[in-house]
Amino acid sequence: MEVKLTSPVDKKDLASLRAGDRVLLSGPVYTARDAAHKRLTELIAQGKTLPFSLPGSVIYYVGPTPEAPGQIIGSAGPTTSGRMDAYSPTLLDLGQPVMIGKGNRSREVVDAIVRNGAVYLAAMGGAGALMGACVKSVELLCWEDLGCEAVRRLEVEDMPLTVAIDSRGGNLYESGPAAYLESVR
């Protein structure tokens, strides 16, 4: 199934998604990798305001390359999501409904996804130019000292993604290989 999804996201719009569904995402998306996640959770621990509101937000694990002249953004391929696993449950528990990255997630993250009715969307690794072409505008929000890992607000249109882990815990990283093995028997 292919679904159009617009952020900010209402969790009720995620309930019907299943692992393996294709999603075309439009709207604001925030970039944050491990260094930014560490800072976000430090702000939370200190009771300080975050640079963006977590409820309804989509965080993309990306550190875009510098843009060429005349471009909005450079290559914007996903980074390995496991580096955010220590921080993700906290953000999910505070209302973040959608994460975008690549690679499987820890049991703690899957449990937090289910507990919060969230989803984890996978971006195609190695397709950074395709992902970058979906970005219509970029705004630096904070932590410029992190370089490509600074937090940015991207406005995206029809970014192609796949539901990797759905709100019920359906996990494409488990069901995909199992289905393949069944098909070759």
| Active-site annotation, residues | 37
Give CA 27 to chain center in angstroms: 13
Q: Is the dihedral of CA 101, 103, 106, 111 positive or negative?
A: positive
Specify whether the CB–CB gap between 92 and 118 falls below 8 A: yes
Which residue bears the tokens 């970005």?
135
User: Of the candidates 31, 30, 32, 24, which has an alpha carbon nearest to the alpha carbon of residue 6?
Assistant: 24
DSSP 177: H
User: Of the candidates 150, 133, 156, which has an alpha carbon nearest to the alpha carbon of residue 6?
Assistant: 156
Residue 70 contacts by C-beta under 8 Å, 6 or more apart in sequence? Answer: none
Burial of 98 (0-12, 13-18, 19+ CB in 10 A): buried
